[in-house]
Chain A
């Protein structure tokens, strides 16, 4: 299994509080992703990173920010959590080959976040 861990694995927080989720990899992959998964919506991309300090927005980025100061760590921050951000959050990593074709994405175990 690819070396990806997420912390915390479960969190309950109150509306309006800041929350940071951490993704850590030991594979030295360049690309890292944050997704959320909700019933009826499937996996949706929040933000991704293509290198240290290089990040870009995904489909559902509003209300989220990210940072990547080291290859192995990708942080997702909810500046002021809302109930609509209650979800399961997955981190993923991948590489591209020399032609820009992606290898498969490996997913972390997920973080279940509840905002009350």
Chain B
């Protein structure tokens, strides 16, 4: 299966830009998801990258480099409500012939005034 690594915690200022990085092993990899999870709530889908490059969705963008096993989530014009955990998840061969999502441990983002 995938081995997903992302920073445990980050802090950023309201109105600023923050980049959350994610690295993964490339063997058996098919695509990469980003989810947002507020405390005590379910994860909600943010983005999905299959091809190299940048995908933009409003204030949120996600980038993928398949050759480097690297992705990042970019959040612009940070708002207090963006304080949440951000989960990176790789989709690929679990090693048993089935395809599954493997989640990183999540990055807890705190937005301060």
Contacts and interface: CB of A to CB of B under 8 A. Distances in A.
Nearest to A112: B40
Nearest to B88: A42
B43 A43 contact: yes
B30 interface: yes
B42 A104 contact: no
B24 interface: no
B101 A105 contact: yes
A104 B33 contact: yes
Interface residues of A, number: 23
Interface string A38-82: 001111110010000000101100000000000000000000000
Nearest to A38: B105
B37 to A, nearest CB: 9
Given A100-B99, A101-B31, A42 B43 contact: no
Interface in A87-116: 90, 100-102, 104-110
A106 B45 contact: yes
Nearest to B98: A56
Interface in B58-104: 87, 89, 91, 94, 98-104
Nearest to A44: B103
Contacts of B11: none
Interface of B: 1, 30-31, 33, 41-45, 48, 50, 87, 89, 91, 94, 98-106
28 contacts: A35-B103, A40-B105, A41-B105, A42-B104, A42-B105, A42-B106, A43-B43, A43-B89, A43-B103, A44-B103, A45-B101, A45-B102, A58-B100, A59-B94, A59-B102, A90-B43, A101-B30, A101-B50, A102-B101, A104-B45, A104-B48, A105-B33, A105-B45, A107-B42, A108-B42, A109-B41, A110-B41, A110-B42
